[in-house]
Structure 1
Amino acid sequence: MRLLKIVPDNTNIGFVRVRHIAFAITLVLTIAAIALVVTRGLNMGVDFAGGVSIEEKFTSPPPLDEVRSTVNALGLGEATLQQLGGPNNVTIRLPLPESTAPDAVDKMVEQVKGALEAKFRDAQFSNYSTVSGKVSDELVWRGGLAVLLAIIGIAIFSWLRYEWQFGVSTAVAIVHDVVMTLGFFALTQMVFDLNIVAAVLTIIGYSINDKMVIDDRIRENMRKYRRMGMRELIDQSVNETLPRTVMTSVTIMLALGALLIWGGHVLQGFTAAMMLGIVVGTYSSVYVSSSLLITLGLKPGVREDRAEAAAAKEKAERMTPRAGR
Structure 2
Amino acid sequence: MAWRLRLAPEKTSFDFFRYQWITFGGSIALMIAAFVAWGVMGLNYGIDFKGGTTIRTESSQPVDVGAYRQTLEGQPLGDVSITEVFDPSFRADQHVAMIRIAAQDSTASVTPEVLQGVEDALSKLDPEIRFVSVESVGPKVSGELVWTSILAVGVSSIGILLYIWMRFEWQFALGGVLALLHDVFITIGIFAVFQIKFDLTIIAALLTILGYSINDTVVVFDRLRENLLKYKAMPLRDVMNLSVNETLSRTLMTSITTLIAVGCMLVLGGDVIRGFSLAIFLGVLLGTYSSVYVAKNIVLMIGLDRSDKPKKSDKNEFANVDA
Calculate the TM-score normalised by the size of structure 2: 0.90
1:96 aligns with 2:97: no
Q: Which residue of 1 aligns with 2:90?
A: none
Q: Which residue of 1 aligns with 2:41?
A: 40
Cα displacement (A) at 1:58? 1.9
Aligned length: 310
What is the alpha-carbon distance in structure 2 between the residues aligned to residue 223 and residue 5 of structure 1? 28
1:68 aligns with 2:69: yes
CA pair 304-105 structure 1, distance change in 2 beyond 3 A? farther
Determine which of 165, 179, 186 is the counterpart of 1:159: 165
What is the letter of the counterpart of residue 96 of structure 2? N
Range with greater deviation from structure 2 (110-119 or 206-215): 110-119
Give the gaps of 5 or more residues in structure 2: 88-93, 318-323
CA pair 104-255 structure 1, distance change in 2 beyond 3 A? closer
What is the letter of the counterpart of residue 44 of structure 1? Y
Task: Report the RMSD for the aligned CA atoms in angstroms.
Answer: 2.1
What is the alpha-carbon distance in structure 2 between the residues aligned to residue 147 and residue 94 of structure 1? 27
1:168-216 Cα deviation digits (max 9, x unpaired): 1111111111101110110111111110000000000000100000000
Cα displacement (A) at 1:103? 9.2
Q: Which residue of 2 aligns with 1:219?
A: 225
1:204-236 Cα deviation digits (max 9, x unpaired): 000010000000000011011111111110001
What is the alpha-carbon distance in structure 1 between the residues aligned to residue 207 and residue 31 of structure 2? 19
What is the letter of the counterpart of residue 31 of structure 1? I
Cα displacement (A) at 1:257? 1.2
What is the letter of the counterpart of residue 12 of structure 1? S
Q: Which residue of 2 aligns with 1:82?
A: 83
CA contact (8 A) 2:38 2:192 kept: yes
Calculate the TM-score normalised by the size of structure 1: 0.90
Where do residues 185-264 of structure 1 align in structure 2 (5 Å cutoff)?
A: 185-264=191-270
Cα displacement (A) at 1:20? 2.1
CA contact (8 A) 1:53 1:93 kept: yes
What is the alpha-carbon distance in structure 1 between the residues aligned to residue 109 and residue 279 of structure 2? 37
What is the alpha-carbon distance in structure 1 between the residues aligned to residue 316 and residue 4 of structure 2? 47
Where do residues 122-133 of structure 1 align in structure 2 (5 Å cutoff)?
A: 122-133=128-139
Range with greater deviation from structure 2 (188-197 or 294-303): 294-303
Q: Which residue of 1 aligns with 2:302?
A: 296
What is the alpha-carbon distance in structure 1 between the residues aligned to residue 306 and residue 13 of structure 2? 20
CA pair 99-299 structure 1, distance change in 2 beyond 3 A? closer
CA contact (8 A) 2:78 2:101 kept: yes
Q: Which residue of 2 aligns with 1:269?
A: 275
Give the gaps of 5 or more residues in structure 1: 312-325
What is the alpha-carbon distance in structure 1 between the residues aligned to residue 192 and residue 200 of structure 2? 16
Cα displacement (A) at 1:306? 6.8
Cα displacement (A) at 1:120? 2.2
Local SS of the residue matching 2:304: coil
Cα displacement (A) at 1:106? 1.6
Q: Which residue of 2 aligns with 1:55?
A: 56
Determine which of 279, 285, 296 is the counterpart of 2:291: 285
Cα displacement (A) at 1:309? 3.1
What is the alpha-carbon distance in structure 2 between the residues aligned to residue 310 and residue 6 of structure 1? 36
Where do residues 14-29 of structure 1 align in structure 2 (5 Å cutoff)?
A: 14-29=15-30
Local SS of the residue matching 2:19: helix
CA pair 8-126 structure 1, distance change in 2 beyond 3 A? same
Local SS of the residue matching 2:238: helix
Q: Which residue of 1 aligns with 2:175?
A: 169
Cα displacement (A) at 1:77? 1.0
Cα displacement (A) at 1:301? 4.8
Local SS of the residue matching 2:124: helix
What is the alpha-carbon distance in structure 2 between the residues aligned to residue 310 and residue 256 of structure 1? 38
What is the alpha-carbon distance in structure 2 between the residues aligned to residue 305 and residue 170 of structure 1? 24
Q: Which residue of 2 aligns with 1:319?
A: none
What is the alpha-carbon distance in structure 2 between the residues aligned to residue 64 and residue 103 of structure 1? 22
CA contact (8 A) 1:227 1:300 kept: no
Residue identity (%)? 39
What is the alpha-carbon distance in structure 2 between the residues aligned to residue 284 and residue 261 of structure 1? 25
